[in-house]
Amino acid sequence: MSGPGDREVPAAARRGFASDNYAGAHPEVLAALAAANTGHQPAYGDDEWTARLQGLVRAEFGDRAQAFPVFNGTGANVVALQALLPPWGAVVCAESAHIHHDEGGAPERVAHTKLYPVPTPDGRLTPELVDRQAHGLGFVHRAQPAVVEIAQVTELGTVYTPAQVRELADHAHALGMAVYMDGARLANAAAALGVPLRSFTTDAGVDVVSLGGTKNGALGAEAVVVLDPDAVRSGAEGPGKAVEYLRKSSMQLASKMRFVSAQLVALLTDGLWLRSAAHANAMAARLADGVRDLEGVTLTQEPAANQVLAVLDPAVADAVRARYAFYDWDAARHEVRWMTSWDTTEEDVDGFLAALRAELAARDRSPAGADR
């Protein structure tokens, strides 16, 4: 997430905890790109790398799954929502959802949909919370709730268990609504839960999911993965073609698609996606354990994946930020966010913790600290 703290991050910062988007590309992803950069390949997805991607996606999500590579997460969300929504449809989402706060109004401007946000204590929707907005069905004066959108991992760093997703999907489907999962950090969720990707997507009743690659070691590669073709808006040519049309009109169709697909192929080959995500999660756990008992630091959510949220004195935060980049999450609460990535090292975490401890100690020794 971005916010007022964005502009405070030193331009020269080389290591930090601002975002997993700050990390570079994984060497195996770069190797796949180099391998794809040989000879000529048909454009717009008719290449061998995109064909390989389809097989790998089906192996992870099931035989009906079909992947549509796109450039970025916002594009994936917009294309997916358009594929599931009727023209009169609206989306029920968590108030903290990325589509609500961090996509510049793209769902509204491009997908022409209304968002019905619901306050949640931890970023997760429940059937009861969905019902706060899933009403007025058949009432012509209200945009019709048609899609439940959830994120895995949520914006607050929490994850849905397969049972929680199943309960939510069953409830949504009973109301005639589809379920879309924003999977920008899908790999981190799977690593945190210790379960296969399909267990909390296909097998749990999700209709469409985005497969995030950028935050897990890709240069810039995501995919819209249709899990239930019957849930997607369709025509005479079938739901897959409908998604293709929407991808093109949303400016998410890559001409040299092999270079997008090759990145996802690399992540889905030999478990790279899981290894990278598990490492990022482990580094977040190391960081959380290091601050858990520090006076002056209060965790606001129990970290489940690669995100740590905590309340910290702004003066201490700014002092540590001079060495390690990170963002304010909720400035009014003095809440900050620390993100780890596939390339975060133990040395990064331990160095950060040492800097934080030193600033906290200095603050306690200062006259202002003595007055607290």
Domains identified in the chain, total number? 2
The more confidently predicted of residues 234 and 227 is 227
183 and 319 in a single domain? The answer is no
124 and 185 in a single domain? The answer is yes
CATH of the domain at 43: 3.40.640.10
Instruction: Give the structural domain span for 187.
Output: 27-268
Tokens of 333: 């609460």
Q: How many CB atoms lie under 10 A from the CB of residue 171?
A: 20
Exposure on the CB side of residue 313, measured as CA atoms within 13 A: 18
Q: How confident is the model at residue 9 (pLDDT cuts 50, 70, 90)?
A: very low
293 and 157 in a single domain? The answer is no
178 and 101 in a single domain? The answer is yes
Q: Is 271 left (phi over 0), alpha (psi -120 to 50) or beta?
A: left
Q: How confident is the model at residue 369 (pLDDT cuts 50, 70, 90)?
A: low
147 and 222 in a single domain? The answer is yes
Q: How confident is the model over 145-166, as a mean pLDDT?
A: 97
- What span, in angstroms and rounded, lies between the C-alpha atoms of 302 and 123? 12
- What span, in angstroms and rounded, lies between the C-alpha atoms of 17 and 340? 6
pLDDT score recorded for residue 3: 45
Which of these three, 268, 303, 318, is where a domain ends? Answer: 268
118 and 239 in a single domain? The answer is yes
- What span, in angstroms and rounded, lies between the C-alpha atoms of 261 and 33? 9
Chain centroid to Cα 330, Å, comes to: 19
Q: What is the pLDDT of residues 265-309, one digit of tens each?
A: 999 999 999 999 999 999 999 999 999 999 999 999 999 999 999
180 and 201 in a single domain? The answer is yes
Residue type, 227: L
- What span, in angstroms and rounded, lies between the C-alpha atoms of 105 and 289? 37
Q: How confident is the model over 228-239, as a mean pLDDT?
A: 84
325 and 345 in a single domain? The answer is yes
pLDDT score recorded for residue 363: 81
Q: Over 80: is that where the pLDDT of 10 sits?
A: no
Q: Over 50: is that where the pLDDT of 6 sits?
A: no
Q: Over 70: is that where the pLDDT of 368 sits?
A: no
Percent of the chain exceeding pLDDT 70 equals 94
Q: Over 70: is that where the pLDDT of 325 sits?
A: yes
- What span, in angstroms and rounded, lies between the C-alpha atoms of 127 and 153? 18
pTM here is: 0.93
- H/E run at residue 350: helix 346-365
